[in-house]
Every structure is written in C-alpha cells, then in structure tokens.
C-alpha cells in the first residue's frame, strides 16, 4: 500500500496561491480549495498526497517532528520558529516585509536617545535579534493579533510586524521605520523524509522549480529585483543561527 506524501499548508492568504502552484506543477490537490468544510486533512484524488491545513506557525513544527514530510510557509515564520528543517526552495508566492513601524506623528530620532523602547510583536525572536544587532535593549510585548493597536492605545512605542502594501499601517496612523527582512513563501522538508522519500521529494522540488522558472520568464526582469533563487543546493543545512536581511 502506498503511503501518501504529507504536505502541510498554512491556512490564510498563502493557501490559494500555494494550491495553484502545486496544480501547475502537476500535483493533484484534490478538494482542498473547494471543499467548503472545516476539514483540516485532505487527500489527492490519486491517493499519492495528503494535505494538512495548519496555522502558519505550526507548519514548521509538523515538518520538523515528521507529522508532515514537507510544508509551505513564509520565511518570517521559518526564521521566527527556528526549526530544524531543510529549506530547499523559495517559491515566489507573495512578497512581504518584516518591519519596524511607529506612529507617524512621532519624531523618528535615533532610538538610542529614548529612555525606554517598548515593542509589540508577534515575532519576539526576530525582534530581539534585530534590536540587539542595533545595540538596543528593548522591552518586548508579545501579541498575537491586531499589532497596530499597541501604539494607538499606548501599550508600545513601536511594533515589529509583516507588511505587504503598507495600507494597514497607513490607515492606523503608522509608518515603516526600518525593514528587518524581506520575505516570501518557501518549501521546507523534514530531514528524515528527505532520506527515506528522496525520489518523491526531488520530483516535487523539480516540478515546482520548472513552474517558478516559467513564471519568472513570463514576467521578465523587474528593476531592482533579481527574483527568487529557483533551487538552492539540496539539502541545505540549517545552523540554528538565523540571518536577517537588514
């Protein structure tokens, strides 16, 4: 009996784009996109793939622990969770930024001159790493939603959060101060699965890579953006120390 390859996908805005990319690569996604139910596990029509829908921050956990063989998730989540997984492929699904933002009416003077800096964020690890690199000791306030409220209500001076267009910041009287890292969706792979299911996972990576290469070719070069690498050396070792593109 064939054991299906388990792919963990994040619920939310990446999901529809991830499913489209998989379909273009010839990977059947079954009824994941159009089921309309609250089911969290789906099978492809050919029975070769099983899909697990999870909270984005849980996807690296499922993959690291072997509950899923591979997963698709944003680089911000990969770096924040710091899980021991391979990261062989950047998928070019959406481009967003992890930024430091603050009220538009606050003087953007050097933060070293502030007596204290309170920062609200869903990314405490990355925020701490960034501010330490700037020689700043800050008070981090972990939140899990509507981070933009924190400066408005006086809970924090600044926020660290992801932005795509910046519209939400603007509508809440905030402005970007610094970019911590640029992000996009990536494929991640369980280390044991890579060894045990090498042929299947290599086929998946190569199929996705061909689609991404074609999409990049159709778009043509974009000024100031060389585009995502199609296929990095595989497997890629994760040394535990995350690099942040400042």
Q: What is the pLDDT of residues 175-191, one digit of tens each?
A: 999 999 999 999 999 99
Residue 136 pLDDT? 87
On the question of pLDDT at 49 being above 50, the answer is yes
pLDDT digits (tens, 9 = 90+) for 112-136: 777 788 999 999 999 999 999 988 8
Is the omega angle on the peptide bond into residue 174 within 30 degrees of 0, that is, cis?
A: no
177 with 115, same domain: the answer is yes
Q: Which of 65-79, 124-138, 213-227 has the lowest mean pLDDT?
A: 213-227
Find residue 119's DSSP bridge partners.
140, 158
More confident residue, 236 or 165: 165
13 with 34, same domain: the answer is yes
199 with 160, same domain: the answer is no
What is the number of other CB atoms lying within 10 angstroms of the CB of residue 74? 25
Residue 36 pLDDT? 66
Q: To the nearest whole percent, how much of the chain has pLDDT over 90?
A: 71
Q: What's the Cα-to-Cα distance from 31 to each of 17, 25, 77, rounded to whole Å?
A: 15, 17, 26
CATH code of the domain covering residue 52: 3.40.190.10
Q: Which of 8-12, 103-107, 239-243 has the lowest mean pLDDT?
A: 239-243
On the question of pLDDT at 8 being above 90, the answer is yes
State which of 182, 209, 231 marks the end of a domain: 182
20 with 134, same domain: the answer is no
Residue 218 pLDDT? 79
Residue 3 pLDDT? 92
79 with 130, same domain: the answer is no
What is the number of other CB atoms lying within 10 angstroms of the CB of residue 219? 11
Residue 84 pLDDT? 96
Average model confidence (pLDDT) for the chain?
A: 87
90 with 100, same domain: the answer is no
178 with 188, same domain: the answer is no
50 with 65, same domain: the answer is yes
Residue-range definition of the domain harbouring residue 174: 96-182
On the question of pLDDT at 245 being above 50, the answer is no
177 with 190, same domain: the answer is no
Residue 30 pLDDT? 84
70 domain-assigned: yes
On the question of pLDDT at 231 being above 80, the answer is no
18 with 127, same domain: the answer is no
Q: Considering its fold, how many domains does the chain have in total?
A: 2
The helix/strand/coil state of 196 is helix
Element spanning 120, H or E: strand 118-121
pLDDT digits (tens, 9 = 90+) for 75-88: 999 999 999 999 99
**Nearest Cα to Cα of residue 10 among 87, 74, 65, 63:** 74
**Nearest Cα to Cα of residue 94 among 121, 111, 74, 122:** 74
């Amino acid at each position: 009996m064939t054991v299906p390859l388990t792919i963990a996908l994040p619920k939310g805005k990446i999901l529809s784009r991830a499913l489209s990319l998989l379909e273009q690569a010839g990977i059947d996604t079954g009824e994941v996109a159009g089921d309309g139910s609250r089911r969290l596990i789906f099978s492809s029509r050919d029975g070769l793939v099983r899909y697990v829908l999870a909270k984005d921050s849980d996807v690296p956990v499922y993959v690291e622990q072997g509950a899923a063989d591979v997963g698709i998730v944003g680089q911000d989540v990969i770096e924040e969770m710091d899980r021991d997984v391979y990261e062989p492929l950047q998928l070019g699904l959406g481009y967003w930024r992890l930024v430091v933002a603050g009220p538009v009416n606050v003087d953007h003077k050097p933060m070293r001159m502030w007596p204290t800096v309170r920062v609200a964020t869903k990314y405490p690890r990355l925020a701490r790493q960034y501010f330490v690199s700037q020689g700043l000791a800050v008070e981090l306030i972990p939140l899990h939603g509507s981070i933009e409220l924190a400066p408005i209500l006086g809970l924090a001076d600044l926020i660290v959060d992801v932005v795509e267009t910046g519209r939400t910041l603007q509508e809440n009287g905030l402005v970007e101060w610094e970019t911590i890292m640029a992000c996009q969706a990536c494929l991640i792979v369980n280390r044991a699965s890579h060894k045990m299911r090498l042929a299947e996972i290599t086929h998946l990576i190569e199929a996705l890579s061909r689609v991404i290469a074609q999409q990049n070719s159709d778009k043509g070069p974009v000024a100031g953006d060389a585009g995502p690498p199609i296929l990095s050396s595989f497997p890629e070792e994760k040394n535990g120390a995350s690099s942040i593109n400042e």
